[in-house]
Structure 1
Amino acid sequence: MPYDAERFPASTVVDALTDALKSRNAIVAAPPGAGKSTVIPLALLSAFPHKKILLMQPRRVVVRSLAAYLAEQLNEPVGQRVGYRIRGEARVSEQTRLEIITEGILARRIAQDPELADVGLIIFDEFHERSIHSDFGLALALDVQDGLRDDLRLLVMSATLDTDSLTSLLPDAAICVSEGRMFDVKEIYSGQIAAHQLHEAVARFTRQACEQVDGDVLVFLPGAGAIKKVSQLLATAPPHTKPIIHHLYGALGKEQQSNALKADSQGRQKVILATNIAETSLTIDNIEAVVDSGLENIAVFNPATGLTQLNQQMISKASATQRKGRAGRLKPGICIRLWSKEQQDRLAGYTVAQILREDITPLLLDTLAWGTTPDELRLLDQPSKAQLNSAMSALIAMDAVATSTTGVVTLTAYGQQLARFPCHPRLAHMLLTARDKTKTVDSQLCQAALWIAALAEDSGRMSDGLVSEALSNADKTTVARLSRQAKRYLSLLSPPDKHLPLTPCHELEPASIALAIALAWQDRIAFWQKEQWKLANGRGARWLGVPVKSDWLAVLSGQQVGSEVNIRLAEPLTFAVIKTWFSKHLITAKQVTFHRDSGQIQARQVTRFNQIILASEPVAAASADEMAQAWLDYLKEQPMSEFPLPDNAWQWLNRIALAARLNLAQPQAFDQADPWPEVSESVLSIIDEKSLLTHLKKCKKREDLINLPWQTLLQQSLSWPQQHALEHFLPLSVAVPTGNMRYLEYLPDGQVILSVKMQEMYGSCTQIIVGNNAVPVTLSLLSPAGRPLQKTNNLAAFWQGSYQEIKKEMKGRYPKHFWPDDPANAEPTTRTKKHMNG
């Protein structure tokens, strides 16, 4: 162990952990302040004397900082026994035994060397953050362990003590639990703060914190924009303690990040304005106060637009705990939370896993390259169907995948090429297309593609406008950063024996920039139409840059706002380029579709670029088959709530939903009962399409759709045992005490209502139950005029209770009707007293 390891609580689990890793995997659960990231990796070096240890961390700044700290514990420079590797940067040597890497590095390493012959242990640190790379990396490592390296050991470390989900992936793993080490941190709640007052409030509470503590103050903000605004406010009205202000977020340079983490050389108080990058792992000494905005920026992918946007949201309880813990590492501290105690109680437990909210096209490509599919990988969470469909569509458009006659999806040779590039498949496709179509990496197009590939991963740091101007006006630091990444891509495209130069970004032709962008995102090409921009994927858009003369734009980045997209970075494109490079997406064909204004199906000759209609002229009337198919296409677009169904069909759907919820018995089933259909997403998923098309041929306008025999079509989708069970256990009507049949109403939430006049229920105390004795029917008792008087599913209690009050009022309003004193034993009737006596 390092010389000062004993001061960390995590040191208490080292012996048990070392012993466990001799024969199996392990899970370490250690709360904030335990020192698991600093103590355990060094302590395990002796357990793997002839193999490397790979330590995965979610952020580059953490990798550098942790490597420096651990190397210092060994009195060595970084790059000897402790080294690190991030994209485009490595400090390792032949002596390196502990290699700290960002999570994306592992998947590439396994793809290149599945055996991992020189690795003995892989540590997945901060696994509770649930990045898509850590999920995928663990799944691949488990495959390697099972198929190639049963001696490889895996250690998953998490700051949460909830290990149930992890043990499902690592059922035989030893679980080592460490206590945390945190001094008391006083929580101060500001109460709810309006969004427009947030920056002022953060600055105000930061000044207050500076004056309350002697140590440094760590301020959590959602992003770089908020950090800069608060920094300006603090510069205008600084705290009385005159602290030095530091920024800390992922896009900063190494030196700025390092300065934020180190103690001030002149002993001044520091204020560190940080994103959630500072929540875990980073060693930041002397923090005595935390000011927490309670907000974070989360990337969310919209499969409908293909855009990933940053959404600002409240943090989870787990993140709030992590942030608070920063103030209690060395001594008691304070944590000022800019929300109310009531809001704290309502926070989500954890942030939604990245794999459930981001673009999984890279994940799908890498998974197929590994020779499997996401559903076969051991992932804690499976991506949604919409995510998978979007990713598969993108790969199909690039000719990266092929489907066999049996439906098995595999990568093409071109797909294998794409998988070798350490970037999004769209960018890899752009780079390869630019090189292969121009036959050289020296061409303006290929050179532009190199810069665009670098900029695409950096575009959040650019102001809105033309890409060509953003590159020409970029500062030296930005150009140097982009240039380093562009040169890495150039080395991948170039012959191994040639080192070709990179064209300076200010010398790139705007036309080449536009084409390169379009090669990556042809579905984002925008056209000026009817006083607005329309994207090739069908979405409306607004251009935030200066006006342009061109009718076409190649869009590099944008942000979803409601139903529209704000275009942030783009470059004008010509229609001549579209005709030359994207001709297969320019289609002229007869189109039979629903016309919303007329409410009818219309046939037109349409020229389109993807979803952008360039020309449209009416043509001869459509055939009956074309009309039916158009109606079907229209119905497929309708949300469940707007589907044109009559009341009896809605009742049928509610009955089926209830049957599925109850898993209703099917006594007439000969063998295993068929599963009840799922009706929550689409009516069309139940109905036989061929039968529906036959009826749709008769429809002339939208109003005709509701008159189709929907209930019959729906009923035919059930097997005979299901039809029998539905009629027997969830009937449409029941007999009431008068002997009359009265309809039951099935509600979407599973309630069943019987609306019946109160007089018809006299003489009965029996509860009506349907659903094979599982669902009590709620009685809606009506007045003689049919107005609701009372709802109950306990008739006996009603007769003895509130009926007496209702009787007093009703006898005066309806004196001709029968209102007995003892309704439980009275004769049920549908008549007035006069006709009863007669």
Structure 2
Amino acid sequence: MSDRMAKLPIDSVLPDLLQAMSANRNAVLIAAPGAGKTTRVPLALLEAPWLEGNKIIMLEPRRLAARSSAKYMAGAFSETVGETVGYRVRMDTKAGPRTRIEVVTEGVLTRMLQADPALEGIGLVIFDEFHERSLQADLGLALCLQTQALLREDLKLLVMSATFEAQPVASLLGGAHVVMSEGRSYPVETVYRPRAASVRLEDAAALTIEEALRSNEGDLLVFLPGMGEIRAVESKLRGKLQDSSVHIFPLHGSLTSESQDQALMPLPAGQRKIVLATSIAETSLTVEGVTVVIDCGLMRVSRFSPRTGMSRLETVTVSKASADQRRGRAGRLMPGTCYRLWSKEEEQGMTARSTPEILEADLTSLLLELAAWGVNDVAELDWLDAPPAPALQQAKDLLIQLGALDKSGKTITAHGKRMAEFGKHPRIAHMLLRAMPLGLGSLGCELAVLLGERDFIRFEGSASNSDIRIRVEALRSRGTYATDEGVRRRLSEEVKRLQRELGVQDAQGQQNMQECGLLLAFAYLDRIARRRDNGKYLLSGGRGAAFVGGEPLSHEQWLVIADVDDAGTDSRIRLAASVSFDQLAEHLQDEMNVETNIYWDSDSKSVRGRTRKKLGALLLDETPLSKPPSERVLQVLLEGIRTEGLELLPWTKAARQLQERAVFVRHYDASWPDLSDDALIESLEEWLSGYIEGMKSKSDLQRLNLKDMLESILSWEQRRELEDSAPTHWTVPSGSRIPIDYSDLAAPALAVRLQELFGLPESPRIACGRVPLTLYLLSPAQRPVQVTRDLANFWSHTYFEVRKDLKGRYPKHYWPDNPLEAQATRRAKPPAQK
């Protein structure tokens, strides 16, 4: 090993760490930024006797840090990367048979565990920068702990962090020993430059950069939220800076490794650089020559919403821990200055630490990895923070939809196992597996790479185009939009590498971009969208979506949306492709549902039936159902009667009177059937079903004889008793048969002309004499002149006053002095009086 390595603060605690790792399976190392843990610890542990010549695997959260640390450690051996020290990152591997230290990232550790759960040949797994709490780090640690518990008692685990509460992770590791290194940093002056709400971020950053260049020596590291802000600040600076000795370098994850390395390396004497970086430069990297940090205090994170099943990029305020990490970049090599574009008061409101990714990320990949690992319940593993149930359920639903899990959601399918082998998001893996048999593997690889990266096309002003096909064109060097050529070349190399890995040789995808929408439909079954009348779109998953501003795709009838935020009622469409209905019908038959909908139509008062073909929430086709099942028609007709009420049935006066008579008798005898409206509605199936089979509408129901149907509910004895206790009519002294009105349960009534009751001493009674009829005594013109339930009292007291009035109004009619002895008559006068 080279003896030219400068002494670092971590060196003083390496003996303690070596002792802890020798005596225990697990340990935690807390080392301040700049202490040298990332590059010193793996080298110090490489020759430990307990390692027995096995490999060390170190997990880094970022590709840039993985490559950079591997290159630095390789230099300690005076070697190039790929010999004793190597790395494996997505689409890039430099490791060989002699490699003893491998720096890995982006799910590589998970792939290694899936391929060999025992991790044969590996003696130590190091989790670096664990305070970032990446999803892959949490998953990798959980799987390693189970491997250690079940398969490899000799496997050792080391968790390293710069700013972290050690006790929770030490407890997770079984009470692991904690080693602390205070680190070394030079004093950093903090200057607050709060940005007014009316000032754009890029303007404030550019002004502060100019101030820092005038007031300080050395290089500048500027933290910005994303690529858009980096480009904007770079553009402003290039228009203002006239000093040819000052160079500007962007630094973000989408750059080529050569461009990233260029930003990290020192410049010749007399030259200065400004590095415009995302949070990629926050940890594990030393940007040579930096003495000034300018921190905008913002970062861009992906937030997943279980409610919508969508992720969205949000610009959020950094945590205090992240701000301190950034500030520390200025004091790595010498005293420095940190400009913060916020106030001390605003700083008080910052959260202490960032939220772990596992608590707000899309967990579909994690759940598929666990299913491939053989875990049905996440509680089987030990987690620092357990994955939240809503996001897990959303992930399970998607994996079932993609065919990766069986319908129960508990068992991985053969298709799911193949998807897990890809090491990509399950949506992308499913798309590639569907694309290759169609001869579209090449196009699938292009889409897979594009969907895994930030947009590399630059739009001028307010112009934008959400069509993914122009990205494919740009990737093939045939596009008309401005792109970052370095990024384009890197993505093209990734496409070729993926094609080689999958053995894709088809050429059809190189020409036919009309299939982009179809391939996206395989990946985003829940985001197939149909245009609505208002120009917005309905997604198959049930959400609404819309374009912001005029877009070439905005008039397409069918879309597949690859990128959409979940804000508001109608999410903003960011990336999509058109697809034809014929393509969907041909290739997504298994995902379409045919529904037979038999329902009650309240407008036509009839049972209707329709067949609907649907894709999720999207209605694709609807046709009338010619022969709906008779049992279902009967059920819906009964439901319609319940909804509309019994008035839908053909009530005659006789039917209604029969019902009322039966209800009247039940009032005095609870053993009788209940024929009230509520009871009849409740028991429709029992008394009505047999009569309405084959009927579908109100007009059909009019053929029913409701009186006979109700009567059939009563026994023969009850029908006879009904005639005795609640007769339909009452014969009055004049000989007329007057119908009895039973609508008032408490007071059955008889409406009869007063003259027809002469000679009747008392009120008629029903219900075996228990209930007197309420008499509505009518004038010759059929108008009520008196209401009474006590006819005898009426004759004795009231009749003479009523007689006086009636005699004046109807002088030609018979109004005797003694009604009890008079002859009843239906005419003006009895025959004897004419």
Q: Given the two structures, how large is their TM-score scaled by the length of structure 1?
A: 0.69
| Structure 2 CA distance for partners of 1:477 and 1:200, relative to 1, 3 Å | closer
In the other structure, the counterpart of 2:125 is: 122
Aligned counterparts, 1:206-217, within 5 A: 206-217=209-220
Is residue 2:38 matched to residue 1:32? Answer: no
Rounded to whole Å, the distance in 1 between the matches of 2:365 and 2:642 is: 35
In the other structure, the counterpart of 1:156 is: 159
Is residue 2:351 matched to residue 1:348? Answer: yes
Rounded to whole Å, the distance in 2 between the matches of 1:376 and 1:19 is: 31
- Corresponding letter in the other structure for 1:138: L
In the other structure, the counterpart of 1:456 is: 451
Rounded to whole Å, the distance in 1 between the matches of 2:303 and 2:590 is: 31
- Corresponding letter in the other structure for 1:575: F
Is residue 2:595 matched to residue 1:589? Answer: yes
Rounded to whole Å, the distance in 2 between the matches of 1:156 and 1:198 is: 37
Rounded to whole Å, the distance in 1 between the matches of 2:568 and 2:46 is: 52
Distance apart, 1:523 and its partner CA: 1.2
In the other structure, the counterpart of 2:566 is: 560
| Structure 2 CA distance for partners of 1:607 and 1:136, relative to 1, 3 Å | same
Deviations 1:56-92 (A, max 9, x none): 1111111111111122222222222211111222222
Is residue 2:524 matched to residue 1:518? Answer: no
In the other structure, the counterpart of 1:392 is: 396
- Corresponding letter in the other structure for 2:445: L
Q: Secondary structure at the match of 1:401?
A: coil
In the other structure, the counterpart of 2:815 is: none
- Corresponding letter in the other structure for 1:117: E
Rounded to whole Å, the distance in 1 between the matches of 2:422 and 2:288 is: 39
- Given candidates 583, 588, 609, the residue that maps to 1:577 is 583
Check conservation: 1:604, 1:616, Cα contact below 8 A: no
| Structure 2 CA distance for partners of 1:482 and 1:103, relative to 1, 3 Å | closer
- Which ranges in structure 1 are unaligned for 5 or more consecutive residues? 495-499, 631-693, 698-838
Rounded to whole Å, the distance in 2 between the matches of 1:148 and 1:185 is: 48
Distance apart, 1:560 and its partner CA: 3.0
Q: Secondary structure at the match of 1:309?
A: strand
- Corresponding letter in the other structure for 1:518: A
- Corresponding letter in the other structure for 1:51: N
Q: Secondary structure at the match of 1:22?
A: helix
- Given candidates 307, 326, 329, the residue that maps to 2:332 is 329
Check conservation: 2:118, 2:152, Cα contact below 8 A: yes
- Corresponding letter in the other structure for 1:424: H
- Corresponding letter in the other structure for 1:414: H
Rounded to whole Å, the distance in 2 between the matches of 1:621 and 1:219 is: 73
Check conservation: 1:542, 1:567, Cα contact below 8 A: yes
Rounded to whole Å, the distance in 2 between the matches of 1:236 and 1:426 is: 43
Deviations 1:590-634 (A, max 9, x none): 559999xx9xxx99845533112356799999849979999xxxx
- Corresponding letter in the other structure for 2:193: S
Aligned counterparts, 1:188-203, within 5 A: 188-194=191-197, 197-203=200-206
Q: Secondary structure at the match of 2:518?
A: helix
Rounded to whole Å, the distance in 1 between the matches of 2:95 and 2:213 is: 40
Check conservation: 1:211, 1:239, Cα contact below 8 A: no
- Corresponding letter in the other structure for 2:30: A
Rounded to whole Å, the distance in 2 between the matches of 1:63 and 1:543 is: 39
In the other structure, the counterpart of 1:73 is: 76
Deviations 1:618-656 (A, max 9, x none): 9999849979999xxxxxxxxxxxxxxxxxxxxxxxxxx
Distance apart, 1:585 and its partner CA: 4.2
Single out whichever of 232-241 and 252-261 deviates more from structure 2: 232-241
In the other structure, the counterpart of 1:788 is: none
Distance apart, 1:16 and its partner CA: 1.1
Check conservation: 1:608, 1:615, Cα contact below 8 A: yes
Q: Secondary structure at the match of 1:7?
A: coil
Rounded to whole Å, the distance in 2 between the matches of 1:577 and 1:241 is: 56
Is residue 2:471 matched to residue 1:482? Answer: no
| Structure 2 CA distance for partners of 1:22 and 1:411, relative to 1, 3 Å | same
- Corresponding letter in the other structure for 1:564: D
| Structure 2 CA distance for partners of 1:270 and 1:107, relative to 1, 3 Å | same
- Corresponding letter in the other structure for 1:563: T
| Structure 2 CA distance for partners of 1:538 and 1:215, relative to 1, 3 Å | same
- Corresponding letter in the other structure for 2:397: S
- Which ranges in structure 2 are unaligned for 5 or more consecutive residues? 459-464, 478-484, 626-632, 644-681, 686-834
- Corresponding letter in the other structure for 1:533: Y
Check conservation: 1:558, 1:566, Cα contact below 8 A: yes
Aligned counterparts, 1:104-253, within 5 A: 104-194=107-197, 197-238=200-241, 242-253=245-256
Distance apart, 1:123 and its partner CA: 0.8
Q: Secondary structure at the match of 2:531?
A: strand
In the other structure, the counterpart of 2:21 is: 21
Check conservation: 1:221, 1:295, Cα contact below 8 A: yes
- Corresponding letter in the other structure for 1:449: G
Rounded to whole Å, the distance in 2 between the matches of 1:32 and 1:629 is: 73
Rounded to whole Å, the distance in 2 between the matches of 1:203 and 1:629 is: 72
Rounded to whole Å, the distance in 1 between the matches of 2:598 and 2:185 is: 68
- Corresponding letter in the other structure for 1:428: A
Check conservation: 1:318, 1:349, Cα contact below 8 A: yes
Distance apart, 1:482 and its partner CA: 3.4
Of the two, which has the highest radius of gyration?
2
Is residue 2:101 matched to residue 1:59? Answer: no
| Structure 2 CA distance for partners of 1:547 and 1:84, relative to 1, 3 Å | closer
Distance apart, 1:26 and its partner CA: 0.7
- Corresponding letter in the other structure for 2:88: R
- Corresponding letter in the other structure for 2:495: A
- Corresponding letter in the other structure for 1:511: Q
Distance apart, 1:490 and its partner CA: 3.3
| Structure 2 CA distance for partners of 1:511 and 1:241, relative to 1, 3 Å | closer
Distance apart, 1:265 and its partner CA: 2.9
Check conservation: 2:456, 2:488, Cα contact below 8 A: no
- Corresponding letter in the other structure for 1:453: A
Check conservation: 2:81, 2:94, Cα contact below 8 A: yes
Is residue 2:471 matched to residue 1:465? Answer: no
Deviations 1:414-446 (A, max 9, x none): 21111111111111111112234x3xxxx2x33
| Structure 2 CA distance for partners of 1:460 and 1:286, relative to 1, 3 Å | same
- Corresponding letter in the other structure for 2:141: L
In the other structure, the counterpart of 1:283 is: 286
In the other structure, the counterpart of 1:272 is: 275
Q: Secondary structure at the match of 1:122?
A: strand
Rounded to whole Å, the distance in 2 between the matches of 1:627 and 1:109 is: 62
The alignment covers a number of residue pairs equal to 616
Check conservation: 2:613, 2:620, Cα contact below 8 A: yes
Aligned counterparts, 1:353-392, within 5 A: 353-372=356-375, 373-392=377-396
Distance apart, 1:484 and its partner CA: 3.4
Q: Secondary structure at the match of 1:411?
A: coil
Distance apart, 1:459 and its partner CA: 4.7
Distance apart, 1:109 and its partner CA: 0.5
Q: Secondary structure at the match of 2:47?
A: helix
Deviations 1:1-33 (A, max 9, x none): 864667321111101111111131110011212
Rounded to whole Å, the distance in 2 between the matches of 1:29 and 1:568 is: 41
Distance apart, 1:481 and its partner CA: 3.1
Is residue 2:503 matched to residue 1:508? Answer: no
- Corresponding letter in the other structure for 2:451: A
Deviations 1:772-822 (A, max 9, x none): xxxxxxxxxxxxxxxxxxxxxxxxxxxxxxxxxxxxxxxxxxxxxxxxxxx
Q: Given the two structures, how large is their TM-score scaled by the length of structure 2?
A: 0.69
Single out whichever of 523-532 and 223-232 deviates more from structure 2: 523-532
